Structure 1
Amino acid sequence: IVGCTCTDNLPILPVEELQTKYYIRFAVADRSGVLAAMAGVFAKHGVSVRSVVQRGNSEHETVNLSYVTHTAKEASVRAVLAEIAGLEDVLRAEPSVIRVEG
């Protein structure tokens, strides 16, 4: 039986405390050291990477790095995004971020 949960008194969790998996795609400079620098940022903020795929072609000097994380806090992922945005000559566009359930 499926019951209505609309009357349940559930606490509202601050978004920074949300814990889920994430898909994040970065358009980055195609040069040595970028992947290593980004991996260090993920590790520094305690965000474990489940997989990473690099796609692109060096003729355009930009590649896409697509990450899927293990379960992580929203605040930690935001810290990763902010620090990567501050890396010198790395990002070529705003990253795409999708929360993944399950």
Structure 2
Amino acid sequence: MDRTIGVGQLRAHTCTYIQMVAGGETLRVLRRGRLVALIKPVPVAAHDACEAGSLPSDLTPVNLSSFRTQAGRHLDHVSTGSRLCVVHNGRPVAEVTRPLGS
């Protein structure tokens, strides 16, 4: 099931939402009513690569605490086409991408 949340909700409840994503849910993130990002489970290939210490070059690792405190800045990077891999305790827990068609 997909869920739509705002940036403020994401910042306030980051850990809860990341746990939902780790459980297989995809989140759509809105900023001022506009869809700006998708947060989805990490693909198996990226998960294995991260644990091996070599993420694909187009996937930027971001610490969970940094993602929470600087959500707006990270979503700005995503809006330019960057893909993020949210990492917690050395493990990839979510992938953040720009929505298709944006």
TM-score bucket of the superposed structures, by smaller chain: under 0.3
After TM superposition, the score normalised by the length of structure 2 is: 0.25
Q: Which has the higher helix share?
A: 2
Higher relative contact order (CA 8 A, sep 6+): 1
From the CA coordinates, give the structure whose radius of gyration is larger. Answer: 1
